[in-house]
Amino acid sequence: MLGRVNHVAIAVPDLEAAAASYRGTLGASVTEPQALPEHGVTVAFVTLPNTKVELLEPLGDASPIAAFLEKSPSGGMHHICYEVEDIVAARDRLLQAGARVLGDGNPKIGAHGKPVLFLHPKDFQGTLIELEEV
């Protein structure tokens, strides 16, 4: 069911500072910030030869990233995203296996313009999992 790792997401309190650190200190290519109001975040992607790192900054007080940063003010790893060929089939299989899909269970469009779902971290060793259809 799982394909390759699409990205690892890092919650950051200051997206501009994080992007500058990746560009300047690590010499990485970083995309321009993109606001995703439906998800409550602003994102930028660090492009690597084999995957991406997603930098997440809260967009508004109701952002799930704001709550994460209250517990970890300097930021940290937020989730890992795996690719799947058919997100609805993957969701149905996971639900049958007892996994919990966050939200209303229906895919939303993510930062790459593709359907995504999030899986409860308590079902996956404390790690929030995002699935993205490719």
Does the annotation count 130 as an active-site position? yes
Which one of 54, 57, 130, 132 is the catalytic residue? 130
Strand ranges (E), the chain? 5-11, 29-30, 34-36, 41-47, 52-58, 76-84, 108-109, 115-119, 128-133
- Asked if 2 contacts 82 with a C-beta cutoff of 8 angstroms, the reply is yes
SS3 content of the chain, % helix, strand, coil (to 5): 25, 35, 40
Catalytic sites, residue numbers = 130
